[in-house]
């Protein structure tokens, strides 16, 4: 960067601020996930997340593991694309950076469309945020995560548009792409935790 703003730790203060924000976000998602784990077995009325028999009556589960696995794969691939975009930025390869930024944005939007589809399906099946404990926990966790993905997409789009105003990459551009990458990878890691706990762990 042309004018680096180092903190007393030797790390650029803007990057340090991002790490502090991500640490606070860890606490936020940790609270949501902990609440979900504490009350996950307290589902007193249908619809239920997985197939089950209650009082001799069979209830079909709502969770679609193959579909959500596909959306998870899409988000993980967006993280790979983000790594390549950062690599392009750090190596002054404008074309590579733009191409992989566009790929990351597209994959992020695709993931959000998966989530919208799932929400619509759940609502159609009668699961709202106030239906039962599962509904409240599910919509809060996945909804807030979706908001984070949406914010990340907006950040990446703004950075992409910013690069079209320059003839070449400057060091600040590489720094901003790298910092945005930290946020994007954090969002991916959080989803891996949510996907494992909500979709893969048995009820």
At residue 5, does pLDDT exceed 60? no
Strand ranges inside the chain, DSSP E: 52-54, 57-59
Per-residue pLDDT, averaged over 33-50, amounts to: 84
CB 91 within 8 A of CB 157: no
At residue 168, does pLDDT exceed 60? no
153 exposure class (CB count in 10 Å sphere: 0-12, 13-18, 19+): buried
Q: What local confidence, expressed as pLDDT, does residue 171 receive?
A: 61
pLDDT in tens, 63-97: 999 999 999 999 999 999 999 999 998 888 888 99
Domains and their CATH numbers in the chain: 13-200 (1.20.120.80)
**Cα dihedral 163, 166, 169, 172 in deg (nearest 10):** -80
pLDDT range class, residue 8, cuts 50, 70, 90: low
Q: What local confidence, expressed as pLDDT, does residue 92 receive?
A: 83
Per-residue pLDDT, averaged over 35-62, amounts to: 84
pTM: 0.88
Q: What local confidence, expressed as pLDDT, does residue 151 receive?
A: 96
133 contacts: CB under 8 Å, gap ≥ 6 = 39, 40, 42, 43, 44
When mean pLDDT is compared across 78-82, 173-177, 185-189, the lowest value belongs to: 173-177
At residue 18, does pLDDT exceed 50? yes
DSSP assignment letter at 108 = H
Beta strands at 52-54 and 57-59: parallel, antiparallel or unpaired? antiparallel
Q: What local confidence, expressed as pLDDT, does residue 36 receive?
A: 87
pLDDT in tens, 86-134: 999 888 888 899 999 999 999 999 999 999 999 999 999 999 988 888 8
At residue 6, does pLDDT exceed 80? no
Q: What local confidence, expressed as pLDDT, does residue 45 receive?
A: 81
Q: What local confidence, expressed as pLDDT, does residue 100 receive?
A: 95
At residue 2, does pLDDT exceed 50? no
């Amino acid at each position: 960067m042309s004018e680096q703003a180092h903190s007393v730790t030797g790390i650029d203060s803007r990057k340090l601020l991002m790490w502090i924000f991500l640490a606070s976000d860890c606490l936020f998602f940790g609270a949501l996930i902990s609440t979900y784990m504490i009350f996950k077995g307290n589902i007193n009325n249908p619809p239920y997340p997985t197939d089950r028999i209650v009082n001799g009556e069979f209830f079909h589960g709502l969770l679609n593991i193959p579909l959500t696995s596909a959306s998870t794969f899409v988000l993980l691939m967006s993280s790979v694309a983000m790594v390549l975009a950062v690599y392009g930025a750090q190596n002054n390869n404008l074309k590579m950076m733009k191409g992989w930024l566009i790929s990351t944005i597209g994959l992020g939007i695709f993931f959000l469309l998966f989530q919208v589809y799932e929400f619509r399906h759940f609502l159609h099946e009668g699961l709202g945020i106030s239906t039962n404990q599962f509904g409240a926990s599910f919509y809060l966790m996945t909804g807030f995560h979706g908001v984070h993905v949406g914010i990340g997409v907006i950040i990446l789009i703004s950075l992409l548009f910013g690069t079209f105003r320059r003839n070449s990459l400057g060091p600040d551009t590489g720094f901003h792409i790298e910092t945005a990458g930290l946020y994007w990878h954090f969002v991916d890691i959080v989803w891996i935790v949510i996907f494992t706990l909500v979709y893969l762990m048995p009820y």
